[in-house]
Amino acid sequence: MAKEIIVGIDLGTTNSVISYMQADGKVKVIPNPEGTNTTPSVVAFKASGEEIVGNAATRQMITTPDTVRSAKRRMGTSEKFHIACLNKDFTPQEISSKVLSYMKGYAEKSLGQPVKKAVITVPAYFSPMALIATKAARSSSSTSGAAPSTSRSSTSGTAPSRSSRRLATPTSGATTGTAPSPTGSGLRSRSRPGPI
């Protein structure tokens, strides 16, 4: 049985990246199917119902008006993206969920095993509502999950920096209190076990 791999995801406004810690302790970025290390946080919709994510969605932005980018800027708000070709509204977390699902899919193909846990980084300035929305995006990204713990990185090991927060989240399975950080030491965690 293969050792469980916990991925780290930087869910970015413009681009996102997914990585994991190798057995030798080095972090490896998982390239997307097009071979690039970053995946545009862009989702395009077609009238047929097809959803295109990442680089292909970016290339179609001019010809496909129903393309959403920068959904992360609206996380935690009540704003929605109207997709005219489907006559449907999507929340920022639903759009982010599509990006996370896409990344999880190509990570599983690259690793040759299911991805069940992830650490998702978000900016330190994210409001509590934006954190909740990010958790919802993770939960609906075809990766049901348990309660995440939020934490902040610390470079000195004494006081957390305000540069980023991490959502240490199982992406499927039973409730857990914390999940390890792919960056190793310096992660302070406040556990919040229980269902979301």
Q: Does position 189 have pLDDT exceeding 80, yes or no?
A: no
pLDDT of residue 1: 62
pLDDT tens for each residue of 167-179: 444 443 322 223 3
Q: What is the mean pLDDT of residues 38-47?
A: 96
Q: What's the chain's length in residues?
A: 196
- In DSSP terms, 43 is beta-bridged to 53, 68
pLDDT of residue 142: 54
What is the DSSP code string of 46-115?
Answer: -TTS-EEETHHHHHTTTT-S-EEE-GGGGTTSS--EEETTTTEEE-HHHHHHHHHHHHHHHHHHHHTS--
111 pLDDT band, cuts 50/70/90, is: very high
Judged by average pLDDT, the poorest of 11-15, 115-119, 189-193 is 189-193
- Sign of the C-alpha dihedral, residues 104, 164, 73, 57? negative
3-state secondary structure of 40: strand
Local structure of residue 65 (DSSP, 8 states): S
Cα diameter, the chain: 53
Nearest-angstrom CA–CA distance, 66 and 175: 37
Nearest-angstrom CA–CA distance, 90 and 144: 19
135 pLDDT band, cuts 50/70/90, is: confident
**Of residues 131 and 15, more confidently modeled:** 15
Burial (CB < 10 A; 0-12, 13-18, 19+), residue 59, is middle
Nearest-angstrom CA–CA distance, 107 and 101: 10
Q: What structural domains and CATH numbers belong to the chain? A: 6-39+94-190 (3.30.420.40), 40-91 (no CATH)
CA–centroid distance for 131 within its chain:
12
Judged by average pLDDT, the poorest of 108-117, 134-143, 161-170 is 161-170
Share of the chain above pLDDT 90, in %: 54
What average pLDDT does the structure give for the chain?
Answer: 77
Phi and psi at 106, nearest 5°, equal -75, -25
Q: Does position 195 have pLDDT exceeding 80, yes or no?
A: no
The encoded tokens of residue 192 equal: 């919040």
CA–centroid distance for 56 within its chain:
19
**Of residues 142 and 46, more confidently modeled:** 46
CA–centroid distance for 174 within its chain:
19
Q: Does position 145 have pLDDT exceeding 70, yes or no?
A: no
Q: What is the mean pLDDT of residues 48-70?
A: 94
Q: What is the mean pLDDT of residues 157-169?
A: 41
Asked whether the beta carbons of 32 and 62 are under 8 A apart, the reply is: no
Phi and psi at 83, nearest 5°, equal -105, 100
Q: Does position 73 have pLDDT exceeding 80, yes or no?
A: yes
